Amino acid sequence: MVGLSGPRKAANTKPGTAKTAADRVDFSTVLQEVSKSRENEAVDGARATKVAELREQIAKGTYRPDLDKVAASLIKFMDSEG
C-alpha cells in the first residue's frame, strides 16, 4: 500500500502562492560575488597588460621609473618599518 504523503497546500491559498521561509531565495549575495568576480577579472586583465608592457620596456632597456615616486615609496616604507 502506497501512502499519499507529499507536499500539502495551505488552506485558503491559491496554487503557487503559499510561501514559507524555505521558499525564499536570496540572490543578492550570489550576484554580488559574481559582480566582484567580473570586476576582478577586468582589473586582473588590465594589470596583466601593464605588467607585460613593463616587462617589454625592461627587456628593451627603455624602462624609466619615476624616481620621485620611488623615493617617496622608499621613505614611506622605511618609516613604517621603524
pLDDT tens-place string over residues 30-73: 788 888 888 888 888 888 999 999 999 999 999 999 999 999 99
Q: What are the residue ranges spanned by the domains of the chain?
A: 26-81
- Does the pTM surpass 0.85? The reply is no
Q: How far is CA 37 from CA 7, 25, 26, 42, 54, in A?
A: 38, 21, 18, 9, 25
In terms of pLDDT, which residue wins out, 47 or 6?
47
> Which residue carries 502506497 as its cell?
2
pLDDT at 59: 96
Does the pLDDT value for residue 1 go beyond 50?
A: no
Does the pLDDT value for residue 6 go beyond 90?
A: no
Residue 69 to residue 32: CA distance in whole angstroms: 35
